[in-house]
Amino acid sequence: MKSNVHVIISGRVQGVWFRASTKQKAEQLGLKGWVRNVPDGKVEAIFEGDENQINEMIKWCHRGPPLSKVTNVEVKKQNLTNGFEGFSIRY
């Protein structure tokens, strides 16, 4: 089943290759959407695709890349948009 989630990741998640690693993992899982840094030091992402792959991506977000230290992951389900071509990093 297809799904869409909005995720906010807290902790040491900026300056540790979090966005690039998230893009790589999302593409590996066949997900669409985007990821970006937020001015308050968090990372925000939208993942859209198969529910099992999204759950795998959320699990990955709790760990993140090797240099990160994730302290919290907020996940909110959203309506499916089918509005994404692929997965991108937003600036």
Tell me the β-bridge partners of 43: 9, 37
12 is catalytic: no
Of the residues 4, 19, 36, 72, which is catalytic? 19
Tokens for 43? 């990372």
Annotated catalytic residue 90: no
Selecting among 36, 37, 55, 79, the annotated active-site residue is 37
Q: Residue for token digits 């899982």?
A: 29
Cβ–Cβ contacts within 10 Å for residue 16, how many? 17
Active site residues: 19, 37
